[in-house]
A and B are shown apart, each in its own frame.
Chain A
Amino acid sequence: MNKPLKWLAQGLVLALIMVMIGFLANRPAYTNFPEDQAMIRLSFSHGGGRPDCHRRTPEELAALPPNMRAPMDCPRGRLPVLVELDLDGGPLFHALLPPGGLHGDGPSRVHQGFAVPPGTHTITARLRDSGRTDGFDYEREVTLDVAPRQNLVIDFKTDAGGFIVH
């Protein structure tokens, strides 16, 4: 190969490397989420109640070392949280969320997204965090219009009175 031809080829190789760098730096495009759908995301972190706390009798208290005489005897673990999310009357997500933490004493967590077609939807969210065996402690139903690519978040906070829809 003569010199100018070699230089040309060297330039081509460098150009090829640069095209490879420039191309993959931004292409091909990736579809993170279908553009004609909306997202309902259920995301909260909420601790269930403690099972059967009982008030210690004076005898029980006296039997304990002085520095441990707490009036209430509560097991460390928390109850699991039962959650149900319904879309237009049909189930979208039903789950019994176990408590987190090594000793089951942490909050139950969920962070889950669902693609739904845009339009008007009725969303019902129910949650049980107590020891009851039937029914729910919190419930909320909303009917709203969701746009394509809308990120509808359903959070839960006891302070705010239960389910929050963003």
Chain B
Amino acid sequence: MDLLRRTLRTGFAQVEALLDRVFPPTWQPLYHLGALAFFCLWIVFVSGLYVYAFFDTGTVDAFESVQNMSTSYWYHAGVMRSLHRYASDGMVLFMAAHLLREFSLDRYRGARWFTWVTGVVIIWLVYVSGITGYWLVWDELAQFVAIRTSELVDAIGIFGEPIARNFLTPGSLDDRFFSLMLFLHIAIPLILLMVMWIHLQRLTRPEINPPRGLAIAMLAAFVALALVMPATSQAPADLGRVLGRIGLDWYYLGTYPLADLIGPRGLLGLLGVITVILLALPVMPPMRRPPAATVNLEFCNGCERCVHDCPYEAVKLVPRTDGLPFEHEARVDPALCVSCGICTGACPTATPFRQRGRMIAGIELPHLALKDLRALTDKAAEGLAGDRRIIAIGCDHGVGLEGLGDQAVGVVRLPCTGMLPPSFIDYILSRDLADGVVLTGCAEEACQNRNGIAWTEARIEGGRDPHLRQRVPRERILRIWPGKTGEKALARAIEAFRADLPDQPSAKAVKRPAAQPRPVVADHE
């Protein structure tokens, strides 16, 4: 499983790197797959409401009313109909890519199991929504959908009279079936919307809408597709004739032909097994779950910054319990915590300027507490030589840092770059641990922990507390987000950054010790 995941990860990283050269990060479709799937749903809802006004139920009326949209009213109802179909297909495409990407990024287990499992429920709801939709057109494809779906449902074996017998002969079909399908086709998407909302409950500020530019471009592309390749009906359904060759929507019905090989029962079993595997993924080995963040009450003043910055709704503010003269204190729900450490980066008490004995922050990862963070930083500075020394701070998920460590560059690797309290940059530069600081990690808009990069940037820019002190020379800080495959770009950028570094006023005066052999990467593991 891990091999599969890594292979996928590499694949995604390569395509992402390619697209990064073309798109600015906010436009990069692969970084907004969930939001794009959501966007498709909005298009589907709006266009669905529109075509509903033109739809009649009944064996004859249904076909004709849909056909009418594409002929008599092609320039509005026809376009809406095409949008309705293609956005539904787009939803499947983006959903599938989103699932694979979340899997490849290892974002399906630990505290994230809930988001994953609700995602699996979404898959079924999306499919039932789409399949009931095709039913309504009552053309040959609808006939195919009706017969194959009822055979599949009959294979469950809990319904008495086989549903497939409703589609035996032209006379056996009941108009009430259309009303039922229409009802399902409206009710299930609404349930889908509700489950999508549940899907996002464990994420703070989920990105529901894609960035505006991307959304507009995507909508334009869908409209173009609707005009170039309008969605049409196939021949009207005729239960007296067997279906021969038909056009198939492979996004929704791609599995149905498998029933020819393994029978409806086999297909049902296969879909069941796939669902169970997906549901079980979060509890399958290898299980590694680093400990959750903990609050050290003595150092917490209830300022709420960690609550705002945690991307996973894991920290809450609760009334003070220890008698200290503050109204509130932070409390972590370990079940929700993904151990990204971003809360430490948000806590104003997390500063390396503390006295040795009190090197404790209000909120910390037990396996990488404030004192460890400072020790890592000091270690990365050890043995750096020259007058253009760099400390590069990166993360476990983004660009590889292995190639970096040498006498000019020391490396600190964190679970997320967003874990770094900005005071550490001040510390490095003002204590002359190095002459420049490089902050790096995942690609912009693609932070493994969703907000790490954004918060890091905002803390330095001064837009978000705790912000980096004004006195810290910004020209000595390089922020670069090259993503997984950006090692070369990072090395080049660091080289250029070093060359451009202004001379330290003090650098000339101080004589530095000669370089010592030193560990290449100071690591938290």
Give the interface of A toward B (CB within 8 A). 1, 6, 9-10, 13-15, 17-18, 20-22, 24-35, 38-39, 41, 43, 45, 100, 106, 109, 111, 113, 149-151, 153, 155, 166
Contact = CB atoms under 8 A, between A and B. Distances in A.
A32 B85 contact: no
A106 B240 CA distance: 29
Contacts of B247: 26-27, 29-30
B22 A13 contact: yes
A21 B86 CA distance: 7
B42 interface: no
Interface string B229-262: 1010000000111111111111100100100000
A109 B162 contact: yes
A39 to B, nearest CB: 4
Contacts of A9: 22
A30 B245 CA distance: 5
Contact of A25 (B19, B23, B29, B251): B251
Contact of B164 (A28, A111, A155): A111
B144 A6 contact: no
Give the most central of A21, A106, A151: most B CB within 10 Å.
A21
Given A6-B23, A29-B245, 16 more contacts: A13-B19, A18-B221, A18-B222, A21-B90, A21-B93, A22-B225, A25-B249, A25-B250, A30-B245, A35-B245, A41-B168, A109-B162, A149-B244, A151-B169, A151-B242, A153-B168
Interface string B135-177: 0000000001000000100100000111011001101000000
Instruction: Sort A-B residue pairs by CB-CB distance and give the 8 closest, nearest first.
Output: A35-B244, A26-B247, A9-B22, A32-B243, A39-B242, A30-B248, A24-B250, A18-B225
Contacts of B221: 14-15, 17-18
Interface size range of chain B in the complex: 35 or more
Contact of A38 (B164, B242, B245): B242
B481 interface: no
Q: Chain A binding site: helix, strand, loop or mixed by DSSP? A: mixed
A10 B22 contact: yes
B94 to A, nearest CB: 9
Given A24-B89, A45-B161, A10 B242 contact: no
Nearest to B87: A21
